[in-house]
Amino acid sequence: MHVYFRGPVDFGLINIDIQPVPCVRNTDSERYKELIIKDIISVSSNGAHLCLSGLRLHVNCGYVAALNGFTSDGEYFRDNIFVVNLRNMAGDSGGPIFYYKKFTYVSLNGILQGGLDDFDDDINDITGVTTISSILNVFEEP
């Protein structure tokens, strides 16, 4: 990784030599393989419907369960996450969390940090999402 942080925000940037297109991968769709990111918005209410585009599970959706989540691994404490009840698998971390605006346009809401899987059903899975604002704030600080 070109730039990475473990705390207080857990994220990394990869240096690539191509011109990236701001879009979300949607490979399971025959018609809409790419969803164009129109804007970045903060999640402002519990119960909001959001989706994940992960490498392993591809696009799946759930609902915001908590706006003020936190994690700690004993070394780092992170309070810049919100919690969504949606399924994810190992390998999906770093995937975009988004809201559908239209069939081909989305708003970016966060980046998947990780989660806990309730293997009995998809309703009680817990996914921690890093807020976009916390990532952008790292680059805005003097």
Q: How far apart are CA 83 and CA 17, in angstroms?
A: 34
The reported pLDDT for the residue numbered 132 is 87
Mean pLDDT of 122-139: 80
pLDDT tens-digit series, residues 56-110: 888 999 999 999 888 887 888 888 889 999 888 888 888 999 999 988 899 999 9
The reported pLDDT for the residue numbered 70 is 83
The reported pLDDT for the residue numbered 142 is 54
**What is the per-residue burial (b if ≥16 Cβ within 10 Å, else e) of 52-70?**
bbbeebebbbbebbeeebe
The reported pLDDT for the residue numbered 39 is 93
- Give the global pTM: 0.79
DSSP 44: -
Q: How far apart are CA 43 and CA 67, in angstroms?
A: 8
Average pLDDT, the chain: 84
Mean pLDDT of 127-141: 82
The reported pLDDT for the residue numbered 123 is 57
The reported pLDDT for the residue numbered 19 is 81
| Of 20, 21, 59, the residue nearest 37 (C-alpha) | 21
31 to each of 26, 103, 118, how far by Cα in Å? 9, 10, 32
How many CB atoms neighbour CB 29 within 10 A?
Answer: 14
> Which domains are seen in the chain, by residue range?
3-140 (2.40.10.10)
Mean pLDDT of 45-61: 91
Choose between 121 and 78: higher pLDDT: 78
